[in-house]
Amino acid sequence: MKRYSVAILFVLAIVATVAGSFAKGDKNMSYTIKSSAFKEGAPIPKEYSCEGKNTSPELSWSGAPAGTKSFVLICDDPDAPHGAWTHWIVYDVPSTTLSFSPNMKIGAELEHGIKQGSQSSGVLGYQGPCPPQGHGVHHYHFTLYAMECPSLGIAGGADRKQVEQAMVKHIISQTQCMGTYERK
């Protein structure tokens, strides 16, 4: 009986904390990213893959936590045969930027101080889904990090390890959307 009482108190404490966050208008509770190109968990259209135009999809976000000064976006495929494959890295995105248009330019340094990194193949910019044929469905995670610094202080073209090392102490929150892709 005592064990159940402790468990119930624990659950009530969690519920009270979550309810308190909503009551205070905690923006972390509503921090979201989405794409008009695909629904959450649904297939990414062919045009955004290596079998199509291989251009980046539209992404938009809202509800960034208080204190956000910039964003970092990392898109990866954890189902790749040799470990997670990074498809896109964008950093030093100003907090006033709340979306990326489709077919984003490729370049180490873009307007408004936005930088792009090198993905796993060593190429700069977006690389669309391109799993091995017959390898099954792959999941592509577009993770958006809210940062408490306006810049990571690294040059454009950095690889994922460099970006993650620069951002690790500055992350306020993160959110993600996920799409799938399969080559049969």
Residue 138: Cβ-neighbour burial (10 angstroms; 0-12, 13-18, 19+): buried
Residues 19 and 74 in one domain: no
- Compute the mean pLDDT over every residue in the chain, rounded to the nearest whole number: 88
**Whether residue 16 is found in the same domain as residue 39:** no
Count up the domains in the chain and report the number. 2
If asked whether residues 121 and 152 sit together in one domain, one would say yes
Do 111 and 56 share a structural domain?
yes
Model pLDDT for residues 56-103, shown as the tens digit of each residue: 999 999 999 999 999 999 999 999 999 999 999 999 999 999 999 999
| 6 and 97 both lie in a single domain | no
Residue 39 sits in the same domain as residue 21: no
Q: Are residues 22 and 65 in the same domain?
A: no
Domain that holds residue 125: 31-181
Written as six digits, the tokens of 12 are 């009530």
> Does the pTM exceed 0.75?
yes
